[in-house]
Amino acid sequence: MSNWVESLIAAAFAALLFIAPAAAAPGASAEASTSAAARALAADAPAVPAESRRVGYYGYGHVPSPQAIAGWSIAVRPDGQGLPPGQGGVAHGADVYAQQCAACHGTFGEGEARYPKLAGNSKLTADRPVKTVGNYWPYATTLWDYIDRAMPFPSPHSLSVDDVYAITAYILNLNNIVPDNFIADHNSLPKVKMPNRHGFILRDPRPDTDDVACMSRCLSPQAVRIVSTAEGKGLTPRTTGPLDEMAPK
Ligand code: HEC
């Protein structure tokens, strides 16, 4: 029998045991046992500050405390705003990385099995480019943010601030972006020049995307004629769908 079937049966059995005493005691109504459970839950819930007990539109929930918001507000911006005090270097980063990350991403960022590569020699202009931190990511600060919020995959946001700095330094070093003696902190990371820093475009150069959206008194759809397409302009890869058949009318 597979493990999960066993645990399912065990869980069902435990639920039966839990219900049994209430059913056995003739005086105890179902309602009484429910409210006992509710009280048990309420005892676990954090105290709600008085000013947040206002009943909202839907009549439930409460205004989050500044501390609760601070717990979720961990975004680090490209210019480094949001980076906490702390620091870490390449050598310590290599140690923590070996324990926390290498199993999936490979000791040198080469990636185990299908897990993402974090370093390598692939060029974005190759026929089949492999995106890495070195050839793709525009900001070192974003690397810090991502590792802090999302890694290690099985237990995200569990690393100390200093360890995140150290691992960031190690991964940048694996990609030959910073020297062995680099110390990552809230001053140094925003200054790191990532190779693909200017590889992202804010404005789509295709002719039909750069226009002001019409919000009132717009052209009637019947009056619209396609006079040219992106086909043949070297902008869009050929598809095998209807786009290939699309021609100026
Ligand atoms: C159990 C496997 C596992 C472990 C351990 C792990 N990761 Fe990951 N990592 C992943 C997976 C899976 C993704 C892709 C997640 C996604 O795309 O949503 C990823 C993505 C990443 C990326 C983004 C790659 C890219 O270019 O898109 C970085 C950076 C990263 N991990 C760093 C780390 C670091 C640093 C650690 C250790 C603190 C770590 N990971 C531990 C599985 C793992």
Provide the residue-wise pLDDT of the chain in tens; the chain has 249 residues.
344 544 444 444 444 333 333 333 333 343 434 444 444 444 555 566 665 555 566 777 888 899 999 889 999 999 999 999 999 999 999 999 999 999 999 999 999 999 999 999 999 999 899 999 999 999 999 999 999 999 999 999 999 999 999 999 999 999 999 999 999 999 999 999 999 999 998 877 777 777 778 888 888 889 988 888 777 777 766 556 665 566 654
For residue 105 and ligand 1, the question of a CB distance below 6 A is answered with yes
Name the pTM for this structure: 0.69
Angle between helices 140-150 and 161-174 (to 10 degrees): 130
Q: Which atom of ligand 1 is nearest to the CA of 159?
A: 38
Distance 137 CA to ligand 1 centre (A): 14
Angle between helices 161-174 and 90-100 (to 10 degrees): 100
Give the number of C-alpha atoms closer than 13 A to the C-alpha of residue 78, restricted to the C-beta side. 6
For residue 155 and ligand 1, the question of a CB distance below 6 A is answered with no
Fold adopted by 87-191: Cytochrome Bc1 Complex; Chain D, domain 2 (1.10.760)
Output the six-digit token pair for 176: 């030959």
For residue 22 and ligand 1, the question of a CB distance below 6 A is answered with no
